A and B are shown apart, each in its own frame.
Chain A
Amino acid sequence: MCLGVPMQVVSIDGADIVAEIDGVKREASLMILDDEVQVGDFVIVHAGFAISKLDEAEARETLAIMREVFKLEDMA
């Protein structure tokens, strides 16, 4: 029920956006979103509403730190 999908914003029209994942496009409302979004940003879409902007720098960092740690452990 709380399933939300990370989708990339492809267009913005006032308080409505069109977002896309794997070629599937969906309209979504920005009515309950705190953050400013621009075309190209990723947002979590749930039940036709963008509920959160995805922080891409955090996303990459989480993975990079993990990859680094496991690489070091392999060498040990």
Chain B
Amino acid sequence: MNYIDDYRDRELVCGLAGRIGELAAGRSEPMTFMEVCGTHTMAIYQYGLRSLLPANVRLISGPGCPVCVTPNGYVDRAVAYCRQPDTIVATFGDMVRVPGSSSSLMEERARGGDVRIVYSPLDAVALAEKNPGKRVVFLGVGFETTAPTIAGSILAAAGKGLRNYFVLTAHKTIPLPMEVLSADPELSIDGYICPAHVSAIIGADAYRPLAEGQGVPCVITGFEPVDMMQGVEMLVRQVVEGRSAVEVQYRRVVKWEGNRKAREVLAQVFTPCDAEWRGIGMIPGSGLAINETYAHFDAEKALPVVVEEPREHQGCRCGDILRGKVSPFDCPLFDAACTPESPVGACMVSSEGTCAAAYKYGR
């Protein structure tokens, strides 16, 4: 048993689909559930899960792709670092092709910029160690799952006494935008498919204000098709029974209290800050900034650079797509001016972007 294949069991998926159909049949109003995790977005398209659901159960994608919600100005700053002498820009693969206002990391690499794709932030620390004459700027993008790994890399660099490792951070935390979106009457979200691995860190308890305060059902769901269908079944059941609670479908990984150690490491290095979300705007307290103690690792503070004035791309509807207001098929650029080969917006380029998923797997 590898804990993947068994959760792709066709019979269980079909059984759950039948159960969802029976439950939803007792209710005439539509039910809208939002997922806020890019890996869920991909799974829904990849396994065609929408086609298994009754007409009155609708799944919409929210701001679950960290690369996609990162404003252009961040990419522009990373591009500016690529143009600095003796500077290595290290990043997860997802960021490389994301278009900034006038360039991308891939274009900068083609022009001679030193851009390295790493699997782990610790690989970026190793790069700094091997290249003492250069500055290594790591692009710290991601939600609560990734932020502790970046914090860990900063602690590792501090432990080694490195002075040439820097992080350009755009970390964000997910519960606050969920609260903002569920208060939007135009969306009328009936429940959340809560992120799996973010929740492994923050714990199921983190969604209590949403479920118990705002009355929005929350189910933390794993990534395999059986997980996702069971998660939807649990959400439909809550709505039909008129309940609103936090429930954990992904019990094999997520605990109510989450991962305390990871949160301690996070708190050692980061402090909450206001953050700009593409499509949603500024949400106070929804970002993570490097604190004063580790400020010399903060690229923004330690490495001043001139950055071009950011601008958004004409006609691109990434912002509306990230709020769940429109689907990729409603964007005039989708599969025309904007394709994975030549992306206009971040949602098309990230492997977890809603447009990339829609393009790859279709309706």
Where the two chains meet, the residues of A that have a C-beta atom closer than 8 Å to any C-beta of B are 1-4, 6, 8, 21-22, 29, 31-34, 42, 44, 46-49, 51-52, 54-56, 58-60, 62-63, 66-67, 69-70, 73
Contact = CB atoms under 8 A, between A and B. Distances in A.
B200 to A, nearest CB: 4
Nearest to A73: B15
Interface residues of B, number: 56
A62 to B, nearest CB: 6
Interface of B: 1-4, 6-7, 9, 11-12, 15-16, 37-39, 65-67, 92, 94, 119-123, 141-143, 145-146, 148-149, 151-152, 155-156, 195-198, 200-201, 223, 226, 230, 249, 251-254, 259-262, 265, 350, 352
Given A48-B149, A54-B253, A63 B15 contact: no
A6 B119 CA distance: 16
B141 A55 contact: no
B2 A21 contact: yes
Contacts of B37: 2
A1 B260 contact: no
Contacts of B155: 31
A55 B248 CA distance: 14
Nearest to B120: A48
B294 to A, nearest CB: 15
A63 to B, nearest CB: 6
A67 B2 CA distance: 18
3 residue pairs, one from A and one from B, having the closest CB atoms: A48-B120, A59-B252, A70-B15
Given A49-B120, A52-B200, A2 B195 contact: yes
Contact of A47 (B121, B201, B223): B121
A63 B253 contact: no
Contacts of B65: 1
A3 B224 CA distance: 12
Contacts of A31: 152, 155-156, 265
- Secondary structure dominating the interface of B: helix
A2 B249 CA distance: 18
B167 to A, nearest CB: 13
Nearest to B230: A66
Contacts of A47: 92, 119-121, 146, 149
Contact of B38 (A1, A4, A22, A51): A1
Given A2-B39, A51-B201, A55-B253, A42 B262 contact: no
Nearest to A63: B6
A58 B200 CA distance: 15
A42 B4 CA distance: 12
A54 B3 CA distance: 9
Given A1-B92, A54-B253, A70 B261 contact: no
Contacts of B156: 31
B119 A2 contact: no
Given A29-B122, A32-B265, A49-B120, A66 B12 contact: yes
A55 B252 contact: yes
A61 B352 CA distance: 30
Given A34-B262, A48-B122, A3 B39 contact: yes
A6 B261 CA distance: 19
A44 B143 CA distance: 16
Contact of A54 (B38, B252, B260): B252
Most buried by A among B3, B4, B11, B197: B3
Contacts of A52: 197, 200, 253-254, 259
